[in-house]
Amino acid sequence: MGAPVRTTKGQGTTPLAKRKAWKALQAHYKTMQQIHLRSLFADDPERGGRMTAEAVGLFLDYSKNRITDETVKLLIELAGESGLRARIDAMFRGDKINITENRAVLHVALRAPEGESIFVDGEDVVPQVHAVLDKMAEFSNRVRSGEWKGHTGSRIRNVINIGIGGSDLGPVMAYEALKHYSDRAMTFRFVSNVDSTDFAEAVSDLDPSETLFIVSSKTFTTLETMTNAHTARAWSVNGLGGDEKSVARHFVAVSTNATEVARFGIDTANMFGFWDWVGGRYSMDSAIGLSTMLAIGPETFRAMLDGFHQMDEHFRTTPFERNLPILMGLLAVWYNDFFGAETVAVLPYEQYLKRFPAYLQQLTMESNGKHVTLDGTAVNYATGPIYWGEPGTNGQHSFYQLIHQGTRLIPCDFIGFAQPLNPLGRHQDLLLANVFAQTEALAFGKTSEQVKKEGTPDWLVPHRVFEGNRPSNTLLAERLTPETLGKLVALYEHSVFTQGVIWNINSFDQWGVELGKVLAQRIIPELETKEEPALSHDSSTNNLIRRYRRLKEAS
Ligand code: G6Q
């Protein structure tokens, strides 16, 4: 097979380091590197009001970044020179921009309203999306109302999603994020790890007659998922008197692979499909979100999709200088490539978003952890930063020390909401006071003069100085609703896209996960065989395998 035809012209022709705006940014950085946020604010009293952008109910304050209007202008020029406009249009049009897999990248079609048209290989995919959504809705309503019964006639009270990676992280994150809106009479669990503890703990207190499994796997061949699915089937069938017919009432599948679904024993009438143009880490709003829909109901799920779509439209149509995902993506590039920042911390001040950083880790790092450009040339600049984080305020009592006083520059995204979902006394004001205080402390710090004035003994002064000049974004919204969650996820999806376009990499493949999978397949029989295997790995791997074999026999 020859190389696929590039459907997006006009990008990647000039290597990044040779683009005019890139060079201008290099020169500009030399000045910016010296300037403190204290002086940027002191010299420009309007800054905090001006360096903001608001769209679809999300307010972004990016004024506490180490930038000037000139920086923003140059970054936007860089986006222009990098062909961002054409790349956005290509994605939304359904061009096969995932060139290494020759696939369109159309998570935006998953939330396109009925009546819109997006074509892949001459076929309008939007009606297909809505047909699956309708099927999911019908099924969800039947389960939620109790009409769908288990094999013994019991109502389904427990739903377990079995999946991993993109078929797990989105569903878990969304369930936790939207728990407030979920049916509390039902229990939702998520099994992903091939470590048997994951499954064992998930079912330990559940009754098989009330438990429905969703086997979520695009390929339906993933080792972890299929191992867990078979274990689940055995647990379920055994718990239901050994009748294989029970599988039809207790297992449904979300997959693109009908053949394997049928082979597993799931009736393909109970399979919810999606398409090769949905990447795993971009799939939480496809049928992979079936557990989410079961938890929150079809209407609320559609509200989430509407939130996604609003952000898609904002991204597609808004000029770059007011475009939230583009601004955030460009700022990430600014710190990653000019300041040499290696990580970005995402700090949601909302307990329900506790899994949001973990979700973002896959979205960002699987997408932009790439070392070659679209044409296969090794990059000579840093690509995807490491994303990490924890909900505030907990992180403040843990790793924030390093952000405030360590030697590394860690740009932070603070995410806060004005209205709590569980209002209790003063909690929300205390929570939000911490958001504002942290960004203020990071930016402005505390000088030695200030520390001395407080009467601190000289020897202690250096320890108590905060350099400041630590950048952050603050995202504020009214309230965490399903709609807001959709907007937030789409915001980061498109920020990741923007970064990938600047770096001229393919944000939509993940070849880096393959090698380990292949090697594991080779090692599995070496661990399982009763005979001492002839090993031909390196001496470390051989030694570890032998030691493991001895240790497991020891019990
Ligand atoms: C995500 C990746 C990956 C994938 C898992 C599960 O973008 O493709 O995380 O989601 O490997 O794959 P299956 O859904 O095919 O089981």
Give the tokens for residue 170.
Answer: 């989105």
Mean pLDDT of the chain: 96
Question: Residue 493: which H helix or E strand, with range?
Answer: helix 482-503
Per residue in 219-260, pLDDT tens? 999 999 999 999 999 999 999 999 999 999 999 999 999 999
Per residue in 76-89, pLDDT tens? 999 999 999 999 99
Judge whether 366 counts as a catalytic residue: yes
Q: Among 510, 514, 515, 517, say which to mutate for ligand 1: greatest number of ligand atoms within 8 Å of CB.
A: 510
Give the tokens for residue 138.
Answer: 């019908």
Per residue in 299-352, pLDDT tens? 999 999 999 999 999 999 999 999 999 999 999 999 999 999 999 999 999 999
Residue 270 amino acid letter:
N
- For residue 494, the CA-to-ligand 1 centroid distance in Å is 20
pLDDT classification of 10: cutoffs 50, 70, 90 = very low
Residue 191 has pLDDT above 90, yes or no: yes
Per residue in 102-111, pLDDT tens? 999 999 999 9
* Among 415, 408, 383, CA closest to 492: 415
Q: What local confidence, expressed as pLDDT, does residue 8 receive?
A: 46
Q: Among 167, 169, 173, 284, say which to mutate for ligand 1: greatest number of ligand atoms within 8 Å of CB.
A: 167
Is the C-beta atom of 366 inside 6 A of ligand 1?
Answer: yes
- From atom 1 of ligand 1, which residue's Cα is the shortest distance away? 280
Adjacent-strand bridge partners of 90: none
Q: Which numbered atom of ligand 1 lies nearest the CA of 219?
A: 15
pLDDT classification of 59: cutoffs 50, 70, 90 = very high
Q: What local confidence, expressed as pLDDT, does residue 374 receive?
A: 97
Q: Name the residue with tokens 């924890």.
A: 390
pLDDT classification of 54: cutoffs 50, 70, 90 = very high
Is the C-beta atom of 111 inside 6 A of ligand 1?
Answer: no
- For residue 510, the CA-to-ligand 1 centroid distance in Å is 9
Is the C-beta atom of 222 inside 6 A of ligand 1?
Answer: yes
Own/partner contacts of 109-117, CB < 8 Å, gap of 24 or more, are 109/277, 110/278, 110/283, 110/285, 110/286, 110/305, 110/308, 111/285, 111/305, 111/306, 111/308, 111/309, 111/312, 111/486, 111/490, 112/309, 113/309
Q: Name the residue with tokens 């979902």.
A: 421
Q: Which numbered atom of ligand 1 lies nearest the CA of 366?
A: 7
Is the C-beta atom of 170 inside 6 A of ligand 1?
Answer: no
Own/partner contacts of 57-60, CB < 8 Å, gap of 24 or more, are 57/477, 57/478, 57/483, 57/484, 57/487, 58/311, 58/324, 58/475, 58/476, 58/477, 58/484, 58/487, 58/488, 58/491, 59/475, 59/476, 59/477, 60/324, 60/327, 60/328, 60/473, 60/474, 60/475
Q: Which numbered atom of ligand 1 lies nearest the CA of 164?
A: 6
* Among 107, 219, 211, CA closest to 165: 219
pLDDT classification of 555: cutoffs 50, 70, 90 = low
Per residue in 275-296, pLDDT tens? 999 999 999 999 999 999 999 9
Q: Among 106, 219, 365, 511, say which to mutate for ligand 1: greatest number of ligand atoms within 8 Å of CB.
A: 219
Average pLDDT over residues 11-36: 92
Average pLDDT over residues 402-420: 98
Judge whether 397 counts as a catalytic residue: yes
Task: Indicate which residue of 210, 366, 390, 483 is catalytic.
Answer: 366
Judge whether 230 counts as a catalytic residue: no
What is the C-alpha separation between 170 and 284, in angstroms, rounded? 5
Q: What local confidence, expressed as pLDDT, does residue 554 receive?
A: 83
